[in-house]
Amino acid sequence: METTEELRKKLNEIREKCLSCRKCPLFQTRHNIVFDDGIPNQKLMLIGEAPGYYEDMQGKPFVGKAGQLLDKIFASVGFTRERDVYICNTLKCRPPDNRNPLPDEKEACWEYLKAQIEIIKPRIILLCGNVAVQSILGSAGGITRIRGNWFPPESAIVDVYGAKMMPIFHPSYLLRNDSREKGSPKWLMWQDIQEIKREYDKLAV
């Protein structure tokens, strides 16, 4: 198993390539590429959708209100991004007005996400939001229907190097649905993160 530093060195080579990317028009409007955050590790990887305003300004994924909620969700089972989770997005540049990524933008950016998955080879991938689900699982279904379910590696439309995958609600969706009642999105997310922790704890060191 490769060390954190060995993984980080490989990822930095991809990040350098991404910095000069001109493969789609988003490079013209971005402030920063948003490549990754957290700790490169071969246990747990989260793939989000696309950067928003705060991410674009800071160059890191999940740093706005949605990111703060994501950190609280992780903390509820003892995870931190600094120690336990590698985080990246489907797109590395912010789409204008936070619109959904276009197919040609996802295709242009796939080179970088593919490299991140190949380098990390995580045992578990969390697919955070519909865009991430569609990019990895194709037309498996909407996030509301399939969240909380484990998908085996062979169900992916791309190579995930043996990872099992779980779709989860995007924290920005949870912010818009504040109820904590049984069956609500926040309540369901609480069930999902506990299941993720149970599976994580089964992994060999």
pLDDT along the chain (205 residues), means of 10: 93 97 96 97 97 96 95 98 97 94 95 98 97 93 93 96 97 92 95 98 81
How confident is the model at residue 62, as a pLDDT? 97
SS3 track for the chain = CCCHHHHHHHHHHHHHHHHCCCCCHHHHCCCCCCCCEECCCCCEEEEECCCCHHHHHHCCCCCCHHHHHHHHHHHCCCCCCCCCCEEEECCCCCCHHHCCCCHHHHHHHHHHHHHHHHHHCCCEEEEECHHHHHHHHCCCCCHHHHCCCCECHHHCCCCCCCCEEEEECCHHHHHHCCCCCCCCHHHHHHHHHHHHHHHHHHCCC
How confident is the model at residue 205, as a pLDDT? 54
How confident is the model at residue 150, as a pLDDT? 98
**Domain limits of the chain?**
4-202
Q: Which CATH class is domain 4-202?
A: alpha beta
How confident is the model at residue 71, as a pLDDT? 98
